[in-house]
């Protein structure tokens, strides 16, 4: 595994399943993908769809960058509005849970 890929995977592990900004859109960082040409961050948008963001670009992490109450509020609204929302299965972690 090359050094660049290792660095990308380390960054993804740090922010996996947290909310991030992709340009002006709030998304959840789901994981990593690659093809023969590039590496990609896999992001889920609020409509439940996926975006494959080239790792040449980047995302802006929101966890630990905004107030805990505001982050939890965004998480709640993201989850409630996501097409894949199932109230019996909470997919996100609160700010407090992420700290542990």
Per-residue pLDDT tens over the stretch 34-73: 999 999 999 999 888 899 999 999 999 999 999 999 999 9
Q: Domain coordinates of the chain in residue numbers?
A: 3-86
Q: Within 13 A of 26's CA, how many CA atoms are on the CB side?
A: 15
What's the pTM value of the predicted model, to 2 decimals? 0.79
Given a cut of 60, whether residue 87 has pLDDT beyond it is no
Judge contact between 7 and 20, C-beta under 8 A. Answer: no
- The DSSP bridge partners found for residue 51 are 43
CATH topology of domain 3-86: SH3 type barrels. (2.30.30)
Which range, of 17-31, 50-64, 70-84, averages the lowest pLDDT?
A: 70-84
């Amino acid at each position: 595994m090359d050094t660049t890929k290792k660095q990308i995977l380390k960054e993804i592990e740090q922010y996996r399943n947290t909310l991030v900004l992709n340009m002006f859109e709030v998304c959840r960082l789901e994981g990593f993908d690659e093809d023969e040409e590039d590496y990609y961050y896999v992001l889920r948008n609020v409509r439940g769809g996926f975006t494959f963001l080239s790792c040449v670009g980047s995302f802006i992490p929101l966890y630990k960058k905004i107030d805990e109450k505001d982050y939890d509020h965004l998480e709640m609204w993201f989850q409630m509005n996501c097409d894949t929302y199932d109230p019996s299965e909470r997919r996100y972690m609160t700010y407090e849970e992420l700290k542990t």
